[in-house]
Structure 1
Amino acid sequence: MIRPLPDQPDLYAALRASGAAPEDLPALLAASAPQVRDRLAQVDQSLLRAVLRAGQGLEAIAGASVIRAALARADIAPILRPVPSRADSIVLRADGSNPGMPAYSDPAFDAWFEATGARYGLGPYGEKRSVYASAQFADAASAERRTIHMGVDVFAPAMTPLYAPLPGVVRLVHYNADPLDYGHTLILEHEVGSLPVFTLYGHLAGTLPSLLQPGDRVVAGEPIAHLGHWHENGGWAPHVHFQIMTDMLDQTTNFFGVAHESLWDVWQAICPDPNLMLRLPAGMFDR
């Protein structure tokens, strides 16, 4: 029997606790009060189904564990050359644990980073970041801000080239212009273990549209983009936000880069650790 969802501040928690199956979402919404339907109508519907799957004790994305296992075995080309190593990289935590570091969105960051002498700066996956406090990082289902970083950031000079990690097809080339968004954005679709998987590259240079367009095919190791300058990359120090997605949900021009802490188990199924493909040295992000 389908029971209406309670009209509570956190509708994700209500969905998880409902016991409903993903295919029951339309009936669940129809049974609920108009204000609940209106709030949930503003949210990615595939994300809601993923929450329902988790509530039933299932993988939030069917096949996510198969994709992770296939990626761990795959022959991956490096997206950066040379590959970041312990010798030439530093970890740049944005969780408040490094008070001497300017924010990634502070123009003073560039000089600070150059003074470290590092070739690359690395921002961790799964890190909780206070910078994501504005309304654009919340939605109608809950007042909770999405604060958990789902990519790995790699800081390097603007115009540093990036390379395709696997053969694939260009799924998205788009400019996301909101402040602190991705700026120029690329998403590739690949196939691993007969299942699709997607890679996202955010904060790119304006050269992107001249290099690739949706539908283009790429081969592993092919140049695909460059790191963008501040004015074109969403207002950040030059870096790439690299992310893996096992499912595009209902997104067509962008994709979530940060997750709800309360739904981290769901988001991990949607966006597994990018180091499955980056292959950074073990323990790189250990404190």
Structure 2
Amino acid sequence: MTRAATISAALTGKADLYAALRGLAAQLPDLSLTEVLAAAPKHEAARLRGVDQGLLRAVIRRGQGLPAAAIEPALRQYLTQAKVSPLFLPAISEGPSLALQTRGEHPDMPAFSDRAFDAWFAAKGVPYGLGSYGEKRSVYATDQFADSASPERRTYHLGIDVFAPALTPVYAPLPGKVAFVTYNADPLDYGHTLILEHEAEDVTFHTLYGHLAGTLPGLCKVGDTVAVGQLIAHLGDWHENGGWAAHIHFQIMADMLEQTDGNFFGVGHESLWDVWQSICPDPNLILRLAPERFRV
């Protein structure tokens, strides 16, 4: 069987093209996305073209036994020794916080998208609430968390959430440059969003700050240099942050894939979690909070 026939047979009629692509990459270590799209049946090729092409390349790399994001190992090494500044003042580590897990650990906790959450959280009397990286969340059930390559919804949280009152100041944890200042207006999206670009040693990576206040455009403009510890944003309220209780979604991107509009995936597929962990490493590499702060 020719390579083209092998590729076509592996993809034909498959509901989960990510899994099929990963399997192909393991079978053909020199496989490229260009080759896949040329050999795929018309229907499957159209489905593949309907998703982020960088994500497909990452799936292929992982299937070949490589890091899904090429710079991931170097980035992790850099972040373990980099000098970082707190995202909030007082620093989260200096006082109490509450782990806000969403799978029944707090039976009486309203959803983050329920306005009743504000009173519930205020009654806890702690300055910060923490939402976990890698948590599987049922709230991501709408079509915006699906794509054409698989019937699977993206449900695994790629950032760390920090809940605090609206207009709480946010400070840059690392020096960088403003890459995007956008307003992502879809329900349950990021609302006001900031993405910073960082260059360190031999790696270029990005950090994302979602659910911000309308003060953002007055604080940061694309191309601005940002100093470590600089005020960069405030937490947004319901009307401006995508429709959530006031918090920040903080995320690292080792690879921006082909996302160029000032947005980025905030949740990933469970079946591709090893891929997403490489693309978006744990933000606690920067926050450096004790693991028990994320446990109820």
TM-score range, shorter chain: over 0.9
Counterpart in the other structure of 2:19: 13
The 10-residue stretch of structure 1 (75-84 or 93-102) with the greater mean CA deviation from structure 2: 93-102
| Residues 1:104 and 2:112 are matched in the alignment | yes
Distance 2:104 2:191 in 1: 25
Q: Name stretches of at least 5 consecutive residues in structure 1 with no aligned partner.
A: none
What do residues 212-264 of structure 1 show as CA deviations (whole Å, max 9, x unaligned)? 11111101000000000000000000000000010110001210000100000
CA-atom RMSD in angstroms: 1.3
| Residues 1:279 and 2:285 are matched in the alignment | no
What do residues 87-141 of structure 1 show as CA deviations (whole Å, max 9, x unaligned)? 4210011223322100000000000000000100000001000000111101000
Distance 2:236 2:294 in 1: 24
Distance 1:18 1:172 in 2: 35
Q: Name stretches of at least 5 consecutive residues in structure 2 with no aligned partner.
A: none
Distance 1:187 1:22 in 2: 33
Counterpart in the other structure of 2:86: 78
Q: CA deviation at 1:21?
A: 5.3
Counterpart in the other structure of 1:258: 267
8 A Cα contact 2:130 2:161, kept in partner: yes
State TM-score, norm by structure 2: 0.94
Distance 1:203 1:47 in 2: 24
Distance 1:101 1:48 in 2: 37
Instruction: Determine which of 132, 154, 179 is the counterpart of 1:146.
Output: 154
Distance 2:64 2:187 in 1: 37
SS in 2 for 1:231: coil
The 10-residue stretch of structure 1 (240-249 or 26-35) with the greater mean CA deviation from structure 2: 26-35
Instruction: Determine which of 86, 101, 105 is the counterpart of 1:93.
Output: 101
Instruction: Determine which of 119, 122, 125 is the counterpart of 1:114.
Output: 122
Give identity over the alignment, percent: 61
SS in 2 for 1:198: strand
Task: Check 1:142–1:202 CA distance in 2 against 1; reply closer, same or farther (3 A cut).
Answer: same
Counterpart in the other structure of 2:212: 204
Task: Check 1:174–1:21 CA distance in 2 against 1; reply closer, same or farther (3 A cut).
Answer: farther
Distance 1:117 1:72 in 2: 32
Counterpart in the other structure of 2:134: 126
Instruction: Determine which of 22, 42, 52 is the counterpart of 1:34.
Output: 42
Task: Check 1:116–1:22 CA distance in 2 against 1; reply closer, same or farther (3 A cut).
Answer: farther
Distance 1:208 1:22 in 2: 44
State TM-score, norm by structure 1: 0.97
Distance 1:95 1:149 in 2: 13
Distance 2:143 2:117 in 1: 24
Partner amino acid for 1:13?
A
Partner amino acid for 2:23?
A
Partner amino acid for 1:15?
L
Distance 1:11 1:259 in 2: 15
Count of aligned residue pairs for this structure pair: 287
Distance 1:268 1:89 in 2: 25
8 A Cα contact 2:32 2:60, kept in partner: no
8 A Cα contact 1:203 1:228, kept in partner: yes
Q: CA deviation at 1:210?
A: 1.1
Matches within 5 A, 1:181-260: 181-253=189-261, 254-260=263-269
Distance 1:105 1:189 in 2: 29
Q: CA deviation at 1:85?
A: 2.9
